[in-house]
Chains A and B, each alone.
Chain A
Amino acid sequence: MTWRSARTGFFLLLLALLVAAVLSVFFGRYPRPGWLSPDRLQTDPLAAQLVWNLRMPRIAAAVLVGAALSASGLTLQMLFRNPLVEPGFLGVSQGAAFGAALSILYLSRSALTVQAGAAVFALLGLWLTYFLAERLRYGGWILRMVLAGIAVSALFSAGVGMLKYLADPLTQLPEITFWLLGGLWSTRWGNFLPILPLTALSLTVLFLARWRLNVLSLEEETAFSLGAAPGRERLVLLLAAVGATAAVVSLAGTVGWVGLIVPHLARRLVGADARQALPTSLLLGGLFVLLCDDLARTVSAGEVPLGILTSLFGAAAFLVILTRFGVK
């Protein structure tokens, strides 16, 4: 793809995201499932309240969650030289969920504490996965990493199960259950804005360092010969990816498959070069989660958990890509 057409594609995608975000404002179950006319918005104070206090923060959150998970997924894939990893496969998401549940149960339910708990255990999950992958005595690097990630994720899921058992069924349990399914129904400006600084900072770092991602996706000795300090640079980018993931997981719970499928789609669209693949992943991820969340809040009166929808579409798309085109 030439630079010019990549740029055109990028702006088209940006436009699509903006249009989808604006349309999402008028799309929902009030006053009846489907479309809310702009006239009604001006005459009905309840509608205006609802749009401003519920739909808008939720739309912003969906875009941010999708962008952050996708960018983190692409980053982890390139840093680990492994196209089959994503935060949910590396123990990062489950670690974050466990940390958040632990905070809810034993520390406090404030956003900051929950985010911190999520971040610490997200890192721990990643480190455990990496540690195990280096020591597993079966298969190549890609397979070992996936296997270790499955084991660590299962470990943390079991931990969350245990915490659920211990939790107060009236106050704590609903919150913990939310982590497992993933969803944005409790999003307000009040809990969206606190995760914005960490997420924005992390995504900015990843965006600025996207050429380094290309370099670090090469063999260790090659990256070194190109003047990189692979150890230090990997650590900074890993922290940024895990930071962004932990922040959005603390808001949305574990939203699976986004970090795997969106980078794959982005690479199919614009190629593997992170100069194009990273910004494309950001936009495409935002669009994907926004559309899933629109469905989640409109298809039935009771809300469908977002994580279930992203997993459904993500896994289906992944299978199609894998069987038709192979891993890219």
Chain B
Amino acid sequence: MADHHPILSLHNVWFSYNGAHDVLQDISLEAYPGTVNAVLGPNGAGKSTLLHLILGLYLPRRGEIRVGGRPLTAHSRQSLSRQIALVPQREHIPFDFRVLEYVLLGRTPHLDFLRMPGPEDVRAARRALEQLGIDDLADRRVSALSGGEHQLVLIARAVAQETPILLLDEPTAHLDLANKRRILSLLRGLAAQGTTILFTTHDPDTALAVADTCILVRAGRILHQGPVADVLTTEKLTQTYETPLRVLSVDGTRVVLLDFAPHYRESDADSRR
């Protein structure tokens, strides 16, 4: 599944917003081409900050981030934006662009300064829409989209950027089950084409459903990381979330349940699946 060299790596990265309190402490991780990597942890663990560091929005206090084999700081703004695309947690779009116009904004890293996108860029934007199966939305206004469509359009904008690395901040947090499934299988599809996916989530089931590797974060530190099968266990998740929960196996699929009832029966989980 993996290339020999990580396309993205962090080496002992420390970060602090104010110089006093370290929001991220000693973070090291590697992501390989064509893999889906989940950063999992409770709210406020520093997951979004981690994405912002990889994006270059903030610089680490200590340690090094490497993108495509080169230190992040050796990249120009434009070269970095051709390597890494971001789907933010929320993107409020105050002006009522049409979907195609919005997705076209993803072509900006490929334009010279003050140049407008050309026909080739419009084709790339349409390709992105087709790839996500939402080409019928091209002429819709972004204010007229449902929550699920909105999220798909954000991803289309990032896909149109045609970068080897795609970061997503809580991509399924506000979605219903059908849309969640759609987005997750889409992420798998992108990885199959060679894109490296790194996404944050506070929901273990999301990571279980789609990720190859998982990074468990709590209070700015990595507690565990590795293949999903090794990391997403009752013991390690309970430690990460500091709340009783259980990982069960239902028909060969793992599910995570909050441990409300001490005598929870597995047959119940079966019937509710």
Contacts and interface: CB of A to CB of B under 8 A. Distances in A.
Given A221-B86, A272-B96, A229 B77 contact: yes
A271 B108 contact: no
B98 A227 contact: no
Nearest to B57: A224
Given A221-B52, A221-B57, A226 B109 contact: yes
A214 interface: yes
B84 interface: yes
Interface in B39-89: 52, 55-57, 77-78, 80-82, 84-86, 88
Given A226-B161, A273-B101, A267 B88 contact: no
A208 B117 CA distance: 13
Given A271-B101, A275-B116, A221 B96 contact: no
A228 B56 CA distance: 12
Contacts of A328: 95-96, 143
A123 B239 CA distance: 53
Contacts of A211: 108, 111, 114-117
A221 B91 CA distance: 9
A234 to B, nearest CB: 15
A48 interface: no
Contacts of B143: 328
A225 interface: yes
| Number of chain A interface residues as a range | 20 to 34
A208 B91 contact: no
Contacts of A215: 105, 108
Contacts of A142: 94
Interface residues of B, number: 35
B106 interface: yes
A111 B91 CA distance: 45
A159 interface: no
Nearest to A226: B108
Contacts of B117: 211
Contacts of A209: 114
Contacts of A161: none
Interface string A217-253: 1110110111111000000000000000000000000
Given A211-B111, A211-B116, A225-B81, A218 B105 contact: yes
A217 B78 contact: no
23 contacts: A78-B95, A82-B94, A83-B95, A211-B108, A211-B111, A211-B114, A211-B115, A212-B114, A219-B88, A219-B92, A221-B52, A221-B55, A222-B86, A222-B88, A224-B55, A225-B85, A227-B77, A227-B80, A227-B82, A227-B109, A228-B77, A228-B108, A271-B96
What 7 A-B pairs have minimum CB-CB distances, sorted nearest first?
A: A227-B81, A272-B95, A225-B86, A226-B108, A227-B109, A273-B101, A227-B78
